[in-house]
Amino acid sequence: MSDTNFKINTRRGFLAGSAAMLAAPALAQTTGLDVNSQATTETERDVSEVVRRNISSFRTLHWQPYFDNTRGGAILVDIDSRAVHYWSEDQSIYKLYPSSVPLTQELTRRGRTQVTQKVDGPTWRPTPSMLERNPEWPEVIGPGPDNPLGTHALYLSWTYYRIHGTHDTRKIGRRSSNGCIGLYNEHIAELFGMAKVGTQVLLI
């Protein structure tokens, strides 16, 4: 067997094995579980889907198709590719981050909004609908390693919607939230330092 065939067969075997390991229920139920439980995180069904999304997620984009200008900075949340893009006002800074996205289409909101508040060390409170689905959840979690909002949060003009960090890195790149967009803590800290109150945000 040639080296080329060996590499191809080895790669196929790896993908097939990965697909088998990942062939688990796609969405776990959130009822009756801890707010940071692994069961609130999606497990991918098809490794080929993961590969396709990873390729598209880290494709750089230009701001012009999405915004009229970058006044105050601009944040684009691409829910389908699970990526967050940021452009500074003078367009000298461009950042691209992997993100978590809402668990279901019913929890997903798309459209234009803006940053209305920036909080370092946010306090997490479940929404009324979250408490209805999960009555055993606490009504408040203060800043710290158990906080689902991570280290920083950008509050949006839509009620209950945030771009925030997470202490659970398994959630990034997956459907795992009740509506918010999650980033690695180091990424939200960086974005937090660049974004301003008034920064425009578009979720597509």
Phi, psi for residue 20 in degrees, rounded to 5: -65, -40
Residue 161 is encoded by which pair of tokens?
């919607």
Nearest to 95 by CA among 163, 45, 32: 163
Domain boundaries, the chain: 60-203
**Which residues of the chain are modeled with pLDDT < 50?**
2-33, 38-48, 50-51, 54-55
Question: How far apart are the C-alpha atoms of 185 and 167, rounded to whole Å?
Answer: 7
Cβ–Cβ under 8 Å, residues 48 and 59:
no
Question: How far apart are the C-alpha atoms of 33 and 169, rounded to whole Å?
Answer: 18
Residues taking part in catalysis: 164, 180
pLDDT for 177: 87
pLDDT for 130: 87
Question: How far apart are the C-alpha atoms of 56 and 187, rounded to whole Å?
Answer: 19
CATH code, 60-203:
2.40.440.10
pLDDT for 133: 87
Residue 36 is encoded by which pair of tokens?
């940071």
Helix (H, G, I), strand (E, B) or coil at 41: coil
pLDDT for 31: 33
- Reported as a single tens digit per residue, the pLDDT across 101-129 is 998 998 899 999 999 999 999 999 998 98
Helix (H, G, I), strand (E, B) or coil at 78: strand
Please give the helix or strand (H or E) that residue 114 lies within, else none: strand 111-120
Beta bridge partners of 113: 201
Nearest to 183 by CA among 194, 171, 193: 171
